[in-house]
Structure 1
Amino acid sequence: MDNLVLEERLLGSEAEEQPNLKRRIWVESKLIWRIASPSMLSRVTSFGMIVVTQVFLGHVAELELAAFALVQSVVLRFVNGIL
């Protein structure tokens, strides 16, 4: 009997009201998006920077575009391999 009273005092109202599954999924989803959204934004802007640079070099000359594309693909594969 003493254990039940002690558990009730420790858990408080949490033991009585269990949130439903839909609410728990919603809360967990919000927490995941809070962590994942900056990472996704970083990846998209990084990719956008590569695209903008290649477009700019494509307007400069074909040789520079080919050189940048080759170097970028090698460096990008190397960096992704390290990470």
Structure 2
Amino acid sequence: MNLRRVLSIIVAVLLVATLGWLHYELLTEAYGSGPPHYGQTTNMDKWSSPWPGLLKVDAIGAAMLLALLRWGIFPKSHR
């Protein structure tokens, strides 16, 4: 394995871990850690679903991940 491939795999794993942590934090904040959907029912007039924002973050993260893996695993050959 060359350095480029190893670095792209490491950064890709870190990116996936960061996105997973972000999902956990945002969903815990939105739905609360108390009884079922505590954060949702406490201030129902102010509550909004976290899913549209998470889907935008996922789309950006997926594009970055694909570009990173393409750059590191399938580099263009300069022949």
TM-score (norm 2): 0.47
- Larger RCO (CA within 8 A; separation ≥ 6): 2
Higher helix share: 1
Which structure is larger by alpha-carbon Rg, 1 or 2?
1
